[in-house]
Amino acid sequence: MSDAPRYWTPAFVERFVDALNNDEDFQETAGSFSETIELRCLDTPDAEDVSATYAFEEGRIVDVDLWIDEAPSEQMRAEEVDTGAIMARATAPYDVWVQMDKGEMGAAEAIASPDYQIDGSMMQVMSNMGVFRGMMSVAADVEKTY
């Protein structure tokens, strides 16, 4: 039996951050990226909504704020985006994140999907697509279960 964490659990997030900070290709792509992004996963298999806010400095994650609440979390789902503190926020149900993680749905398809919501400056998001694609690639390589 593998000790691989399930996707979108605190143990997975910990491994994901470690992988991002130690992946040479991602670090090269992220370069001087110094922004904060929030990823939200709704309706995990544990009947939870999960929000992970990643603070980057010079391409490295220096802080993660994890918020887990029983789904559906009215408070989390109603929360407005603080665009002064967060460059972008992506929200999707667990099954959409899994499709992206498995490579069954690309970033462009996700953005076009009615199940995937992105908040924040689309100009900034588009100009940093390499960072977001890099994050997806590293996440896909982290050993996990679904």
Q: 94: buried, middle or exposed (CB in 10 Å: 19+, 13-18, 0-12)?
A: buried
Q: Return the pLDDT at 110.
A: 85
So what's the architecture of 10-138 in CATH? 2-Layer Sandwich (3.30)
Residue stretches of the chain with pLDDT short of 70: 1-2
The model's pLDDT over 56-66, given as tens digits with 9 standing for 90+, comes to 999 999 999 99
Q: How is the chain split into domains, by residue range?
A: 10-138
Q: Return the pLDDT at 141.
A: 96
Q: Return the pLDDT at 106.
A: 84
Residue 142, CA distances (Å) to 4, 75, 110 in order: 9, 30, 20
Beta strands at 48-57 and 36-42: parallel, antiparallel or unpaired: antiparallel
Q: Alpha-carbon distance 27 to 85, whole Å?
A: 22
**pTM of the shown model:** 0.94
Q: Return the pLDDT at 122.
A: 87
User: Is residue 110 within a helix (H) or strand (E), and if so which, with residue range?
Assistant: helix 107-112
